[in-house]
Structure 1
Amino acid sequence: MTKKENFLFLYDYSNWIGEPTCLTRTKAFRKVYLWGLLVPLLFLSCQKDTSSDTRIPPTIKYSKDAWQQTAITALTDLLQRGINLESNYFKRARIYYDQEDYKLALEDIDKAINENENQSDYYLLRGKVYLEMGSLAKAQADAERAEALQQSSPELYILLADIYQSNLDYRKAIAYLNQAMQMTPYDGSVYYVKGMIQAHQGDSLSSLRSLQEAITLNPRLRRAYEQSSRLYRLLHQPEQALQINALALQRFTDIPELYFERGEIYRSITELDTALIQYQKAIAIAPQYEKALLALAQTAIAHHAYAKAIPALDKLNQIRDRDLKILSLTGYAYEKLGNFVKARELYNDILSTDPVNQDARYGMYRMQQRENTYLENTPIVEPAAEAGLQRDSSRTILKPLQRRGTTILQIDTLKKAKIE
């Protein structure tokens, strides 16, 4: 093939693929040349920007708390004007739930359900609120209602699994948990429920791993911190328990349950003074926190700090009217403080309700024994022989007080008995 034929062949082939081969090579060289010029220019411009120290100002980011407060203010304004009540009540309830203000969240979600009783999302949210408030029966009813309304979100399956594991129905809990894990394998709540099921089944190590995974995926999952710290405490590993509890307190500074758990850890290692301080912190945040009040009273009594136990016991007596256990502890504290009048009053109050109450009966017996011992060991002074006679303390005869019904016998040197 001649050069001319070869060129024509290449020209025809290049027409078939789009353009001549020689032109393609020329354009390629042009592109390389242009890039060779542009790259140094870009590098120089970046250096100039660095030398002049000019920066684009960062965008202002609101904190989550500030954003939530702004949203609550806007939603409240819309609700006051009566605009879209159903949806806005639901939105505000979700914010309150995220802020762990369950009382306000329940009020808003109830109003949303009153506006529309056939919305599954509303029942799902109310079920989550009831679960956090400890009302398992109501939480289960709302979760099942949401499921009946064709709700099939992973949130619902996690909620149902959590409810059933709390009710010790592990078969249903595992079934819902498996569905949730297939839908959201990286949700921290899934691993929390999994860890709780493993803990109930006695697999503590697997439970701790699952709870740690839950904390890693969702650092704001407070219950995972609480249960992990509790498991370490029950496994007699107080250092790990305190470490997890400290991480939780860094994120949640005003949660009384965390201070209560910290007090339980210190009490388990018999650091009672520190435990009392933690219980007092929990009570300062939640004055009606019964578990902390009772733990404070019991720890103070065990530490012989009876005066510290009295305020907590008085508060418990106000909360639990006529609770015999609390009345018995209060009577015991007053007894140890030496206030027999108040202690006897409380013990009599208990015996009027339960005549065979052993704590009250033993308390009355102990006080009677102490009173008798005190009277036996208290010396008495004999009266003067004649009225108006000056007493000489150096010649005063001291004799111990004898019980009634006894006869005092004095033997003289002639071994004759005289009856006084």
Structure 2
Amino acid sequence: MNETKQIKGKGSLKGCSTLIAIFFGISLISNLIPETKDDFFRDAELNYDTNNYELALTKVNEAIQLDSTNSDYYELRGKILHELQDTIQSNQDFNKTLALAKSDTEKDARIRKMIEWDLNHGEEEKARQLLSKEIQLYKEGSLKHIEVIDYAARKYLTIGDTIEAIRLYDLLSNEYVTTGKYSNKAGILYTNIKKKNKAISEFKKAVDAAPENDIFLYNLGIAYLNSKNKRQAKMYFKKSMDFGNTNACHEYRELTARIRYYKRSRCCDGTTSSSTGRGSCSHHGGVCGIENVPYKEYTISCY
């Protein structure tokens, strides 16, 4: 019995040795296979994400040595160098990514990624420089060119540059489209910065382009109301209301309300009484005057 057990033990030991040999053989073979550029890039991304910037830089440099035409590699190295405070080389790498982009579509995607990265890192001036490149993409007058200008205007608003956003919306409304959309956007921005006459002018362009757009009509009514021109405001609120705009209806309802008055007694102790006949304020020192109190009588209802 003991002999049998001993023989089995040797067999098990032999099998275990075989597995160990296979494992080390596989490990040796895998170590002999060289890393690819994608391997280096993935390692660089992983180390960048874990804030191990020095090792990330080493890995991405290996990837670039194997492929110096991949813009993703330069973008990652630019981010790594930014974290290492090498701003000169970082900027050069970011510019390299744009130089490698062959079409406007590629440049558009690359610029937008870089803009988002700059804004997330407080690099507003760099974002501005990229936006100036963004609006030069695509053929003028094309739908894509209009779209990038609209995108740039929205990003300028994110930065806080309302004037540049208005300039781009004015450009779009004057030269590229006749829907009134961008005139309306410019009008809203002029309203926000208290440029009342300019706001009216832009909203009028929007209404001229789309006279049945209830929002444009309502905004023009608000612009006139801000300028104390109630007659014009009322007219455009009415038009907007007729196209179903509830907000315009409420504004029109207020402007067309009739002012009525009711009388009340002012008691000598400072209180008031709705009664104006004899005996009013009898417990408050008598009547010391009569007041005309205004109230609104509405002529329409809004649902």
Normalising by the smaller structure, the TM-score range is 0.3 to 0.5
**Superposition TM-score, scaled by structure 1 size:** 0.34
Structure (1 or 2) with the greater strand fraction: 2
Question: Which structure carries more relative contact order (alpha carbon 8 Å, separation 6+)?
Answer: 2
Q: Which has the larger radius of gyration?
A: 1
**Superposition TM-score, scaled by structure 2 size:** 0.45
